[in-house]
Amino acid sequence: KNKTWAGTYPTSYQDITYYKITTPKNGYIKVEGKRDGGYGMYVDLCNNKKKSMLSNKSYLMSSNNYTTYYAVKKGTYYLKVSSISDPYALRYTFTSTADQGGSSKA
């Protein structure tokens, strides 16, 4: 859920976990992570069929405050977390934005 921490303890480095996100409007999501051990974590934004939407995964680490942002349209998405063998937690915060573009010819 929006603004709620969720996490797990993977049993293997190869485990993949998906977190479903539904956005009611166009906007952006802020993804924050925290992990035991202080290492980073890979997060990938996927469409409603769990296919990656970006060419590169985001790597949440101390230098970016374990945070990344994605611009999204209204719809359903999944956050894919992989390459982790330690306990972690993840949350997203959705913020809607108004379309300011194309309102006049000028």
Q: What is the pTM of this model?
A: 0.82
Query: What's the pLDDT score for residue 72?
Result: 95
* b/e 13-40 (16+ beta carbons within 10 angstroms → b): eeeebebebebeeebebebbbebeeeeb
- pLDDT over threshold 90, residue 69: yes
Phi and psi at 64, nearest 5°, equal -115, 25
Q: Give the pLDDT mean for 15-24.
A: 91
Q: Give the pLDDT mean for 66-78.
A: 95
